[in-house]
Amino acid sequence: MNFFKSFLASCLGSLVAFIVAFFLLFFLLAGLIGTAISDGGNNNKVAINDNSVLHLKLDVPITEAEIENPFEGLPLPGAGDATISLLQFKQVIKSAAADSKIAGVYLDISVFMSGFATAKEIRESLLEFRKSGKWVIAYSEVMTESAYYIASAADKVYLNPEGDLEFNGLAVEVSFFKKLFDKLEIKPEIFRVGDFKSAVEPFMLDKMSDANRLQLNELIERINNEMIKEIAVSRNIEESKLKEISDKMMATNLQEAKKLKLVDSLLYYDQVLAELENKLGVTNESDIDFVKYNKYKKTVTNTKTSENEIAVIVAEGDIMPGKADPGTIGSTTFAKEIRKARNSKKVKAIVLRINSPGGSALASDVMWREVTLAAKEKPVIASMGDYAASGGYYLAMGANTIVAEPNTITGSIGVFSVLFDMSSFLGNKIGITFDEVKTGDVGELITVTRPLTEQEKRIWQKRTDAIYETFTSKAAEGRKMNVEDLRKVASGRVWTGTQGKERGLVDELGGFDDAVKIAAEKAGVADNYKVRFYPKQKTFFEQWLSDLEENAKIKVLQDELGENYKMVEQVKKLKTYQGAQARMPFELKIH
């Protein structure tokens, strides 16, 4: 009895302590949020001094939309790292160009974490900034290929004398899991249409097919050539010479890079500060007034008060049925947003900002329907980011106009279906077996506990063929092409934005600003409009609590499963591939 009294007393004490701690934390967070909102909501509290230097540190994730983080820099669990919204970044740089208090930009970038279409948009923003007569100085200890691509837009590119520069062209690597599946006794059951629909190759091969190797070679060659052309102009180097420097990796060290004019000078940080002193006309490095991007952006507001709205619906991540979460495009959420924009009298045009490798074929079609309905009533412009492939292209193809960056990865018009027969893995490795009874010849069509029958396999292939028929027919209708001509550029093959335009899959080459401009012109409001972004993002506090809950679940699983946790995560990922998919034919990692 004494034991239970002590036990209950201990539990009660712990509970009381937890409740007290919870409320203390709650009031602390409420105070911090109130302060952050107050500071962020009153631009006058963000003081920018004359002759300031905007410090752009771009070694952070670049996303399409941004969640405000009032706890950034505070030692709180789950506060997370800063991110930069590409669409907001463009507004900030445009504002800085017109701000008399900003003398120039100090670009700090080593590793760029997004794709080459995003890199091009950032680079173009910096070039536009320079047109204002202001300067951009880029400095780092090391630079990757994509980081240097952005940095080459600066007036001067400096590197640490003992640093490193990667300038040797692009490579793409694909992971293959066939041997792992063989060891685990997992058997993929695959149904696909198109020679280039190679998203399933990692499950069935141990190296690239000839078709996949062909398209990847052409893809990275196009992207690399585009970069070489732009860098050559900025660095005043003959394009053919720069291509040779890249192909042969002639800059094996920074002394060679300087000699080849890839960089202007090799300087330590204090020497870079001395260069900035000269530009600013000050005599001491303490007089250099750096203003960080996250501080400066609080001074930038959308001052347009027009009643004419361009609704920008941001679709970023994998396409899934249901509601959207951060990093996913939920068909229910996005169909609703498109429908609301279509029915709104104040919305004069819609821009779909798409950055997606695809996903569920059904979810893609649900959103496509809403896009086509909207396009009949008002201009709908698709603006493609790094990726708008497969399901991402499905979402775009109903728009009136498609705008892509030259380095956007698009197309991949094809379908595959995949299921994983895990019966041997479950039975032989874990010791779990299954049995079933059924009323007809066909049992569950989506199952991991047994292999499909021959009849069920024929059903899956028939369904996959039908979805491809639908995809290509609707794409041909949207692009006003003969369906046979459309299928010549389909078959699951990916293209750059430039290649897509050459083949009729894209209308215009350009970035987000170009898409907005086209939307406003088509709506007849080119001189009088404002831009608003949808769907409404979760507040940081909502996302923070959600992340804490998710992290707690992960911690429990890790503690419970130990080394097996990674295997479970891979199996969970495989489940997202189950069923019919309109997904890009590989997870592209270009480096």
pLDDT in tens, 133-160: 999 999 999 999 999 999 999 999 999 9
Alpha helices, H only, 269-409:
269-280, 293-296, 331-343, 361-375, 391-396
Identify any residues that bridge with 313 across adjacent strands, giving them in sequence order: 352, 534
Mean pLDDT of the 168-192 span: 91
Q: Based on the fold, state whether residues 150 and 18 are members of the same structural domain.
A: no
Q: 389 near 411, Cβ under 8 Å?
A: yes
pLDDT band at 471 (very low <50, low <70, confident <90, very high): very high
> Which residues lie closer than 8 Å to 553 by C-beta, 6 or more apart?
none
pLDDT at residue 43, as a whole number: 45
Enclosing domain of residue 447: 309-539+568-583
Last residue of a domain, one of 242, 277, 299: 299
Q: Based on the fold, state whether residues 272 and 398 are members of the same structural domain.
A: no
pLDDT band at 327 (very low <50, low <70, confident <90, very high): confident
Task: Exactly one of 390, 412, 423, 491 is catalytic; name it.
Answer: 390
Dig out the tokens for 381 from the structure. 């412009």
- Domain-located, residue 225: no
Return the C-alpha torsion angle 353, 355, 361, 362, nearest 10. -40
Q: Based on the fold, state whether residues 501 and 405 are members of the same structural domain.
A: yes
Q: Name which of 368, 449, 465 is nearest 416 in CA terms.
A: 465
Q: Which residue spans within 144-195 are E strands per DSSP?
A: 156-165, 187-193
Q: 194 near 492, Cβ under 8 Å?
A: yes
390 catalytically annotated: yes
pLDDT band at 38 (very low <50, low <70, confident <90, very high): very low
Percent of the chain exceeding pLDDT 90 equals: 67
- Domain-located, residue 333: yes
pLDDT at residue 571, as a whole number: 53
Lowest-confidence region among 232-236, 303-307, 357-361, 548-552: 548-552
pLDDT at 187 over 50: yes
Lowest-confidence region among 78-87, 288-297, 390-399: 78-87
pLDDT at residue 481, as a whole number: 96
Q: Based on the fold, state whether residues 368 and 265 are members of the same structural domain.
A: no
pLDDT at residue 529, as a whole number: 95
Q: Based on the fold, state whether residues 258 and 158 are members of the same structural domain.
A: yes
Dig out the tokens for 227 from the structure. 């970069």
- Domain-located, residue 244: no
CA dist 347 to 342, 343, 397, Å?
A: 7, 8, 21
Mean pLDDT of the 528-537 span: 89
Q: Based on the fold, state whether residues 20 and 109 are members of the same structural domain.
A: no
Return the C-alpha torsion angle 552, 536, 474, 499, nearest 10. -80
Q: Based on the fold, state whether residues 274 and 404 are members of the same structural domain.
A: no
The β-bridge relationship of strands 358-360 and 380-389 is unpaired
> Which residues lie closer than 8 Å to 387 by C-beta, 6 or more apart?
115, 354, 355, 356, 357, 408, 409, 410, 584, 588
pLDDT at 14 over 60: no
- Containing 105, the helix (H) or strand (E) segment is strand 102-108
Q: 510 near 353, Cβ under 8 Å?
A: no
pLDDT in tens, 546-590: 555 555 555 555 555 565 555 555 555 555 555 566 666 555 556
Whole-angstrom Cα distance, residue 564 to residue 160? 43
Q: Based on the fold, state whether residues 59 and 133 are members of the same structural domain.
A: yes
Q: Based on the fold, state whether residues 281 and 426 are members of the same structural domain.
A: no
- Domain-located, residue 347: yes
Q: Based on the fold, state whether residues 80 and 117 are members of the same structural domain.
A: yes
Task: Exactly one of 90, 120, 156, 197 is catalytic; name it.
Answer: 197
Tell me the pLDDT of the chain averaged across its residues: 86
Whole-angstrom Cα distance, residue 430 to residue 511? 51
Number of domains in the chain: 3
pLDDT at residue 332, as a whole number: 96
The CATH code of the domain that includes 523 is 3.90.226.10
Q: Based on the fold, state whether residues 379 and 514 are members of the same structural domain.
A: yes
- Per DSSP, the three-state class of 186 is coil
Q: Based on the fold, state whether residues 290 and 313 are members of the same structural domain.
A: no
- Domain-located, residue 426: yes
Lowest-confidence region among 15-19, 37-41, 121-125, 443-447: 37-41
- Domain-located, residue 486: yes
> Which residues lie closer than 8 Å to 263 by C-beta, 6 or more apart?
157, 158, 159, 165, 254, 257
- Domain-located, residue 192: no
CA dist 35 to 392, 541, 542, Å?
A: 39, 13, 17
Crossing angle of the two packed helices 116-130 and 86-98, in degrees rounded to 10: 10
